[in-house]
Structure 1
Amino acid sequence: MTLLHEGVSIAEAADATGVSTHTLRYYEREGLMLAPIDRASSSHRRYTETDIAWVRFLTRLRLTGMPIAGIRRYTELVRVGESTVPERRELLVAHRERVRAQLDEITASLRAIDHKIDIYDKEISLS
């Protein structure tokens, strides 16, 4: 999708980001957008390329389990500007460590599942 300079509708933004229109409104209500979403003269929301990219990043944070409070804090830091880069980095490094720990747990669980499947495959082949 090519975004025009005047932005896209909420339905188009939802399609471009893979989240629902409800989620987009929620992000806006919770103060998770970097800037207020522009409105057309009809008062309909108009999302820019920057808005779309931001929602995609927020979605990555949510998919990796970052709580809304953490996302809100990160968003506030981004709004403040360059002086918060070290704190933003620290927040993301801590989150990355939690994600890595989750991946380790999931990998161990996957190994256990694979092991059980191997046992069943052997039992089936002996039948």
Structure 2
Amino acid sequence: MSDGDLSIGQVAQRTGLSVHALRLYERRGLLASEVRRDGSGRRVYSAWDVEWLTNCVKFRASGMPLTTISQLARLVREGSGNEAERLQLLREHQRRITAQLAQLSDCLDLVNDKVASYEEHLAAGATGDPW
């Protein structure tokens, strides 16, 4: 390995993905570049691979399906000329996240109202269920 190369264990530590998950990501075509191998056949990753995988972790945390990440990775691997397709995938996901945030905001409003109701109920020394 050269100075900038990272082992699968180092990448696992930096991304929070398990070694098993990294191998799965490779098999599923979720990486934006081909995984290189050293002279012993061990996987070798670059800083760019870590950056991509960190983005993938965030994509997954936001609910992006693995199939969408795979499509995006394929487009990145293909190089320039398909930026409009990449943008379309990201905009679709952006819309889903925005809808999720609106729904979560409504849920938070409900919980905040219930917390305030119970706090007032308890502060007043009231008995019974304030529901």
> TM-score with structure 1 length normalisation?
0.91
**After the TM superposition, which segments of 4 or more aligned residues of structure 1 sit over 4 Å from their partners?**
none
Q: Which residue of 2 aligns with 1:106?
A: 104
Q: CA RMSD in A?
A: 1.3
Are residues 1:45 and 2:66 paired? no
Q: Which residue of 1 aligns with 2:129?
A: none
Q: How many residues align?
A: 124
Aligned amino acid, residue 114 of structure 1: N
Q: Which residue of 1 aligns with 2:60?
A: 62
- Cα distance in 1 for partners of 2:40, 2:77 equals 28
Aligned amino acid, residue 46 of structure 1: V
Structure number having the greater helix percentage: 1
- Cα distance in 1 for partners of 2:104, 2:54 equals 24
- Cα distance in 2 for partners of 1:43, 1:80 equals 25
Runs of at least 5 residues in structure 1 that lack an aligned partner in the other structure:
none
TM-superposed deviation, 1:109: 0.3
Runs of at least 5 residues in structure 2 that lack an aligned partner in the other structure:
126-131
**Secondary structure of the equivalent of 2:52?**
helix
Aligned amino acid, residue 39 of structure 1: R
**Secondary structure of the equivalent of 1:43?**
coil
- Cα distance in 2 for partners of 1:9, 1:78 equals 23
Q: 1:68-109, CA deviations, whole angstroms, 9 ceiling, x for partnerless residues?
A: 111111111112221100111111011101100000101110
- Percent identity reads 33
Aligned amino acid, residue 45 of structure 1: R
Q: Is the radius of gyration larger for structure 1 or structure 2?
A: 2
- Cα distance in 2 for partners of 1:104, 1:57 equals 23
Aligned amino acid, residue 78 of structure 2: V
Aligned amino acid, residue 71 of structure 2: R
**Secondary structure of the equivalent of 1:83?**
coil
The verdict on how the C-alpha distance between 1:119 and 1:15 changes in structure 2, with shifts beyond 3 A counting, is same
> TM-score with structure 2 length normalisation?
0.89
